[in-house]
Amino acid sequence: MTQVKAIIGLANPGSEYEATRHNAGAWLIDALVRDAGDTLRPEKKFLGRYARIRLDGQDIHLLEPTTFMNRSGGAVAALAQFFKLAPDELLVAHDELDLAPGTARYKTGGGHGGHNGLRDIVRALGNDNGFHRLRLGIGHPGDARQVTNYVLGRPGKAERAAIDAAIDECCATLPQAISGDWTKAMQRLHSFSAVSRKP
C-alpha cells in the first residue's frame, strides 16, 4: 500500500483571502503545522509556504501554494519533482461545495468537479489524476451563479466552527490515511459530522 508523503492545502494567496471558504485546504495545513509545533516558511522553488513535520512517526511534506488557486499545479508539480513523489503519494486538501460544512471525505482519483485548483494540478501532473484528495465541506449557495462570490466569501461563526471541527477530525484520521489504511481512515471520517445549524 502506497504511503502518503506530502499533504498540499489549496488556497488563494494574500490576507484578503485568508479567511474565505476557498482557503479551507490551507486551514488544514495550518492545523497540522500548529499541532506539530512548527511553522510554514516561504519556499520559492515550491511556489509556496513549506514545512516538513513528523506525523505519527513519518516524515511528511506540507505545502500551501502561494499562487492563485487556478495555478496550484505548478507548486504541486515542483514539490513532486524535487522529492521524486508519485501522484499517489500526494494528498490534496481542498474546499468542496458538494459537502456540508462540518463534513469531510477522502477520495482517490476522479475528475476535478469544476474545482480550478484540482483542474490545474491534474494538468501539471501530466493529466494523472491518481492523487488522493481530502474534500472539506463548505456547502453550496444553492445557485450556480453565486458560487464564485460564495467561495470567496467568509463563513459565518457557526459555519467556521463546524469546518474547524471537521478539520480536527481529519487530523485525527490522517495517521491511518498516510500509512495507507484508507478503509479505517474513511470509516471514521465519513461517519463524522459537525454540521452547523444556521440561525
Q: Give tens-digit pLDDT for 80-121.
A: 999 999 999 999 999 999 999 999 999 999 989 889 999 999
Confirm if 60 and 178 have CB atoms less than 8 A apart: yes
CA distance 55 to 62: 11
Give me 75's grid cell.
507548486
Structure-derived torsion over alpha carbons of residues 51, 29, 23, 84, reported in degrees to the nearest 10: 60
Residue 154 DSSP SS3: coil
State yes or no: is 22 an active-site residue.
Answer: yes
pLDDT in tens, 162-174: 999 999 999 999 9
pLDDT of 99 reads 97
Per-residue pLDDT, averaged over 54-82, amounts to: 97
Distance separating alpha carbons of residues 72 and 10, to the nearest angstrom: 7
For the chain, the structural domain boundaries read: 1-22+30-69+81-109+147-176
Residue tagged active-site, from 22, 61, 115, 132: 22
The annotation places the binding site at 17, 68, 70, 116
pLDDT at 199 over 50: no
Residue list, annotated binding site for tRNA: 17, 68, 70, 116
pLDDT tier at 2, thresholds 50, 70, 90:
confident
Task: Write the pLDDT tens digit of every residue in 38-48.
Answer: 999 999 999 99
Give the predicted TM-score (pTM) of the model: 0.96
Give bridge partners of residue 9 from the DSSP assignment. Answer: 93
Element (H, E) at 71: none
CATH of domain 1-22+30-69+81-109+147-176: 3.40.50.1470
Which stretches within the chain are classed as H helix?
Answer: 24-35, 72-83, 116-124, 147-151, 157-178, 182-189
